[in-house]
Amino acid sequence: MKTESRLRNNLREVRTRLGMSQQDVAALAGVTRQTISGVESDLYTPSAAVAMKIARALGCRVEDLFWFEEDAPEIEAAPARGAPAGSSLRVALGRVGGRWVAHPLIGDQAFRTEMIPADGVGTLAPGASSMRVRLLDDLETVTGTVILAGCSPATSLWVRAAQRWNPGLRVHWVFANSTAGLEALRRGEVHAAGVHLHDPDTGEHNVPFVRRALPDGTVVLVNLGTWEEGLLVQAGNPLSIRSAADLAARGVRIVNREPGAGSRGVLEHALRREGVPTAAVSGFDDVVTGHLEVAQAVASGRAHAGVSTAAVAAAYGLGFVPLLQVRYDIAIPKEYLDEAPVRQLLSMLNHRRFRAQLEALGGYDIRRTGDIVATVEPAAQG
């Protein structure tokens, strides 16, 4: 006998995004607050009438709030040329000439580099600390922008989902490693910064680095996910690289990340643990600035190895030698949490559609995604 499908919902996420309490939704829907609480906690399955009332109260469709766990639709699609057989693929779908076509999201096709439209133009005078900018967009549109620094490739999935689900939201992603992102946060240039820094002496993730970079204010750390960092190696691992110690072998050449990058710290710690001096590693000073650049260097044969994440290795079809699980957090000064665009962006971390994208990407532990994992208070005075 077929088991009954379980009705799931994302009522809490939608309600939170709209800044509404359970009582607010209950009053608009004409139901009790206990009904809303029961639905959110999966203790109560609403009738069709109640589901419609709740959806109407939130200004959305019933299917945007409720779905059956086993009711994911399927379609037939023709694979685009070059799609590899025999493995699970992330794809982009389009209806072309009356049929669905699936383009595999692998290698360079998994990422996009594009020209970013300007919000304005201006000139900074020599020695000046401010400048006049002529807007090229509406002031109201520009005002709803969150500026986010980070280096995780998954950031683009998060940003795209957030902007799609919140039509008035704009996110400008500034590419920066963890240390540079915290420095931009300290300078007041961004709302939030992605951080994946590990202290090998204490085993702590991110907190001591945030405390040092931002000693004067309260900073909240919201988890994006925990990822596996390690050595990207060529497909099939032809040089049999099994640990950081193997990077000192004759004929092995690496690329490295810039100082301040979390991945560089992972490599340096792994080499110290193995007793390998950095001078013994060919290419240690050959620096690239980004996870994708590491993957491209290894995939092209410019290097035999470099540190990045399991998700990036999978996207490029490379081998992966794990070194360390690292927590990737979003650092946000507490005062920014009251801003509606920031709340909208953060609420997307708990949205089922973004979490499904992160799971499909692979290499991420999402059990704490969207959780506040730490609150870093100002350093004690005296």
Alpha helices in 187-285 (DSSP H): 207-213, 262-274
Q: Which residue has the higher pLDDT, 68 or 134?
A: 134
* Number of Cβ within a 10 Å radius of residue 141: 12
> Which percentage of the chain shows pLDDT scores above 70?
96
Average pLDDT over residues 342-357: 93
CATH architecture for the domain at 229-325: 3-Layer(aba) Sandwich (3.40)
222, β-bridge pairs:
330, 372
Mean pLDDT of the chain: 90
Confidence of residue 120 (pLDDT cuts 50, 70, 90): confident
> Which structure tokens are listed for 226?
């925990």
Residue 140 to residue 118: CA distance in whole angstroms: 15
> What 3-state DSSP class applies to 227?
strand
Domain residue spans of the chain: 7-68, 229-325
* Number of Cβ within a 10 Å radius of residue 34: 12
Residue 104 to residue 77: CA distance in whole angstroms: 12
Q: Which residue has the higher pLDDT, 18 or 347?
A: 347
Is the CB of residue 178 less than 8 Å from the CB of residue 197? Answer: yes
| Residue 312 predicted with pLDDT over 50 | yes
Is the CB of residue 317 less than 8 Å from the CB of residue 107? Answer: yes
> Which structure tokens are listed for 376?
């870093």
| Residue 1 predicted with pLDDT over 50 | no
Q: What are phi and psi of 43, to 5 degrees?
A: -95, -10
Residue 204 to residue 217: CA distance in whole angstroms: 20
> What 3-state DSSP class applies to 329?
strand
Average pLDDT over residues 256-272: 96
| pLDDT-wise least confident of 22-26, 32-36, 40-44, 272-276 | 40-44
Confidence of residue 346 (pLDDT cuts 50, 70, 90): very high
Is the CB of residue 330 less than 8 Å from the CB of residue 215? Answer: no
145, β-bridge pairs:
170
149, β-bridge pairs:
174, 193
Q: Dihedral sign, CA of 362, 367, 371, 376?
A: negative
Q: C-alpha distances in angstroms, 228 versus 176, 255, 261? A: 19, 18, 15
Q: C-alpha distances in angstroms, 340 versus 59, 168, 242? A: 18, 11, 47
What pLDDT score does 9 carry?
84
Domains 7-68 and 229-325 share a fold: no
| Residue 71 predicted with pLDDT over 70 | no
> What 3-state DSSP class applies to 143?
helix
Question: How does pLDDT run across 203-241, given as a tens digit for each residue?
Answer: 999 999 999 999 999 999 999 999 999 999 999 999 999
CATH architecture for the domain at 7-68: Orthogonal Bundle (1.10)
Residue 158: DSSP 8-state: H
What pLDDT score does 2 carry?
45
* Number of Cβ within a 10 Å radius of residue 95: 10
